Amino acid sequence: MGNIGESPFRGAFFGLIVGLLTEADWKNWKPSLRVGERPTDMQNILQLDPRDNVLIALTDLKEDEHVQFKGSSYSLLSSVPAKHKFVITDLPVGGDVIMYGVLVGKTHQPVRKGEVLTLRNLRYEAAQ
């Protein structure tokens, strides 16, 4: 019984879903997006832990792009490739970089809010 197609509950499950929709719902249904489109309210950045001082780009972000996250706005000072991180506050030399809620490294040059983290400005370091 690996998937719902093999389940004895399949008929009941789909019957429940179909029963919730009227014939008018089916006739008037239109897809809200076209293939390849993203919802406009979909986040293109992610924070893994509320203590983090970095955000993760879920898509390629361009320099000078403005992104918003949880009521804060960030102007990107550099392009941020998908899956890479940028800082949400100015960090001085030796500033703590917090990800997953723990120290993952320290800056070895100043990093400004909205700037991508790279091996040029970050030295990995574990919490003591």
pLDDT digit string, tens, across residues 28-86 = 655 554 554 444 445 789 898 999 999 999 999 999 999 988 888 899 999 999 999 99
Please check the confidence at residue 8 and state whether its pLDDT lies above 90.
Answer: no
Q: Which residue has better confidence, 95 or 1?
A: 95
CATH assignment of 45-124? 2.30.130.110
The strand ranges marked E within 1-83 are 45-46, 54-57, 66-69, 72-75
Calculate the alpha carbon distances from 88 to 32, 74, 103 in Å: 33, 7, 15
Q: Using CA atoms, how far apart are residues 83 and 85, in angstroms rounded to an integer?
A: 7
Q: How many CA atoms lie within 13 A of 19 on its CB side?
A: 6
Ranges of each domain in the chain: 45-124
User: Average pLDDT in the 88-116 region?
Assistant: 94
pTM: 0.65
Q: Which helix or strand (DSSP H or E) is residue 97 part of?
A: strand 96-99
SS3 assignment, position 26: helix
